[in-house]
């Protein structure tokens, strides 16, 4: 039987009732850039062996690792339990449609802002929303870069919207597909067990990472510039890998 991956999930934040105008953020999306298509779908299937490999969360061993833990949101205009309302569509003949997300918990933080797990109230789909402060001193290319991608080993951008806080700060919100694990967490689990990561995992992850990099370099023409285990997402059921976080990416020169 395959051992379970033991790693703490991000902590939940105390839910607070919000009476401020930040509870509902209205915005519209844009789909001006076309993603670059890759190989035929039939070529994207991963080996069948992946289906029998399962990583799941198990806290029975008593580990209490706080590294990478979620933290209370402060000053970003989003709190657990808050409903975020945005508008999608309205372009290319598509009707406008309101979509509501409930913020559930923080799964990542950094100088860029935060990433939190959210649930779409209309479809019950779980997504990741990356919330990035728009600093006029720096040019943010992440949205433009993400709109160009269409590959099974690159995290999918569903849509985006902008929101503001009471302080007048503007945030870009990237709504992404949610993938619960990372190569970092997988490697950390085996390290705790004083074991090496199984060679089949190493091969699968290395192949998919190189495949994604070849696509973004040769087809899209972008350099990621921040490849690390934390930015390599892994589906815990299929072990499909997806590169994420294009905040440092730049267009390659001709």
What is the reported pLDDT for 193?
A: 96
Kindly state the tokens that stand for 151: 């590959």
Kindly state the tokens that stand for 11: 């902590």
What is the reported pLDDT for 34?
A: 62
3-state secondary structure at position 211: helix
Report if pTM > 0.75.
no
Number of domains in the chain: 1
pLDDT exceeding 70 applies to what percent of the chain?
68
Q: Would you say 59 is a known binding-site residue?
A: no
Q: What backbone torsions phi and psi does residue 52 show, to the nearest 5 degrees?
A: -95, 0
Domain extent, residue 29, equals 21-178
Q: The CATH number of the domain where 93 resides is what?
A: 3.30.200.20
Count other C-beta atoms under 10 Å from residue 101's C-beta: 26
Kindly state the tokens that stand for 236: 């815990």
pLDDT, greater one: 79 or 93: 93
Residue 250 lies in a domain: no
Q: What backbone torsions phi and psi does residue 180 show, to the nearest 5 degrees?
A: -85, -20
What is the reported pLDDT for 143?
A: 93
pLDDT higher than 60, residue 20:
no
Buried b (16+ CB within 10 A) or exposed e, 184-223: bbbbbbeeeeeeeeeeebeebbeebbebbbebbeebbebb
Given the residues 8, 57, 150, 226, select the one marked as catalytic.
Answer: 226
For residue 236, what is the enclosing H or E element? Answer: none
3-state secondary structure 172-237: EEEEEECCCEEHHHHHHHHHHCCCCCCHHHHHHHHHHHHHHHHHHHHHHCEECCCCCHHHEEECCC
Residue 242 lies in a domain: no
Whether 226 sits among the annotated catalytic residues: the reply is: yes
Q: Give the Cα separation of 25 and 203 in Å (integer).
A: 43
């Amino acid at each position: 039987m395959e051992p379970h991956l033991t790693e703490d999930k991000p902590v939940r934040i105390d839910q607070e009732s919000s009476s401020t105008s930040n509870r509902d953020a209205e915005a519209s999306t844009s789909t001006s850039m076309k993603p670059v298509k890759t190989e035929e779908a039939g070529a994207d299937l991963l080996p069948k062996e992946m289906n029998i490999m399962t990583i799941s969360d198990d806290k029975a061993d008593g580990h209490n690792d706080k590294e990478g833990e979620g933290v209370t949101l402060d000053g970003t205009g989003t709190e657990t339990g808050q409903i975020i309302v945005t508008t999608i569509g309205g372009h290319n003949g598509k009707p406008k449609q309101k979509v509501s997300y409930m913020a559930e918990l923080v799964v990542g933080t950094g100088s860029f802002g935060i990433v939190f797990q959210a649930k779409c109230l209309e479809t019950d789909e779980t997504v990741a929303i990356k919330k990035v402060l728009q600093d006029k001193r720096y040019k943010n290319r992440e949205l433009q870069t993400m709109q160009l991608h269409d590959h099974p080993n690159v995290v999918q951008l569903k849509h985006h919207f902008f929101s503001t806080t009471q302080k007048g700060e503007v945030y870009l919100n990237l709504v992404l597909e949610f993938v619960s694990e990372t190569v970092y967490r997988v490697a950390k689990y085996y390290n705790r067990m004083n074991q090496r990561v199984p060679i089949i995992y190493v091969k699968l992850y290395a192949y998919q990472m190189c495949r994604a990099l070849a696509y973004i370099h040769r087809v899209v023409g972008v350099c990621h510039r921040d490849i690390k285990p934390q930015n390599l997402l892994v589906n815990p059921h299929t072990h499909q890998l997806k590169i994420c976080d294009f905040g440092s990416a730049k267009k390659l020169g001709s």
